[in-house]
Amino acid sequence: MNRYFRLLALGGIALIVAGGAVACGGGSADGEPEDGIQVKTPGAGGDGQAAAESIKVVMKDNLFEPKALTVPAGKSIVIELKNEGQAVHNMHILSQAKEGKDFSSAATVAPGAENKFTIKLTKKGTYDFQCDYHTPDMVGTITVQ
């Protein structure tokens, strides 16, 4: 009987931990969704604003393709990531000094997985980005014009 209660308690703890992980996932520190970005467009029940542009970036083992991006200042851009590598990757834009915050994908993007996040860089110049797990090899730049 004692073994039955131990198994029941362990099962209950596992359910609580799994439920907490699901409830806490799916968002970034600033409250923006990390994936499933919703863009309102005219004629599709939107608010009349133009749709955000998107840039596709492929993460392979120890490189980004492309590794140099150019974006307009002050415009929201959706970064669409795909991990085609064998390792876990992420994309972290080092914009704290110029913008007051960094932009980043999910903390980990598993092999074969995709992730989206939105950036809005307002100050012209060059920003570095990196995979936090594979620096200094897996790096790139964003030029804001």
Residues 6+ away with beta carbon under 8 Å from 76: 52, 53, 118, 119, 120
Asked whether the predicted pLDDT for residue 8 surpasses 80, the reply is no
Tokens of residue 136, six digits: 């200094």
For residue 84, the enclosing domain spans 2-144
Predicted confidence (pLDDT) per residue in 64-113, tens digit:
999 999 999 999 999 999 999 999 999 999 999 999 999 999 999 999 99
| Measured distance CA(50)–CA(142) in Å, rounded | 22
pTM of this prediction? 0.66
CATH number of the domain where residue 106 is located: 2.60.40.420
Is there a contact between 78 and 54 (Cβ–Cβ < 8 Å)?
A: yes
Classify the phi-psi angles of 33: left when phi > 0, otherwise alpha if psi is within -120 to 50, otherwise beta: beta
pLDDT > 70 in the chain, percent: 65
Whose structure tokens read 């415009």? 75
75, 120 contact by CB (below 8 A): yes
